[in-house]
Amino acid sequence: MKTLKEAYEALPEFRKRLEEILDKELQNGLRNIFLVGTGGTYSYALPMTYFAKKTSDFPVYAENGKELMTNQHKQLGEGSLCFYCSATGNTKDILQAMEYTRSKGAHNLAVVSVEDNPMKPLADYDFVVDGGSAMDMTFMLL
């Protein structure tokens, strides 16, 4: 396991890969981004969405995973990139939300703190952030 210092030193490479993914998605018709979470990950998504809305015209939504499935967000579908973070990748609501967003034609990006996790097969893109909280590391990119 990496130390927290080593994890933070890896941020530039993490950011570079994330930018490459976003460039690819934009070339393929990216229309919006969903930051999907539950509990702590949802609470992190709220300030990230606020920041995005204040600094960009690009549509970014913060959604609770269960509510996203129940409310059937009209903007979710092809051209959506859904961003998920988890420490273990075992949260049932998140796994269900990933299945749901994929069924709607969205692409899934997962950031998890452990290599072997159940989110990986549901993700079009995945990052393993060893040595720190997946959400903390992601928040540092803003």
Q: What is the pLDDT along the chain (142 residues), one digit of tens a residue?
A: 667 677 777 778 888 999 999 999 999 999 999 999 988 888 888 888 898 999 999 999 999 999 999 998 999 999 999 999 888 889 999 999 999 999 999 999 999 888 889 999 999 999 887 655 555 556 555 4
Q: Give phi and psi for 35, each to the nearest 5.
A: -100, 105
Cβ(41)–Cβ(86) under 8 Å? yes
CA 78 to chain centre: 16
CA distance 142 to 139: 6
Q: Supply the pLDDT for residue 82.
A: 97
Strands (E), the chain: 32-37, 60-64, 80-86, 107-112, 125-128
Q: Supply the pLDDT for residue 142.
A: 47
Structure tokens at 14: 């993490």
Q: Is the pTM of this model over 0.85?
A: yes
Cβ(7)–Cβ(137) under 8 Å? yes
Region of residue 77 (phi > 0: left; psi between -120 and 50: alpha; otherwise: beta): left
Q: Supply the pLDDT for residue 133.
A: 59
Within 10 A of 61 (CB to CB), how many other CB atoms are there?
Answer: 19
Given the structure tokens 């928040």, which residue do they identify? 139
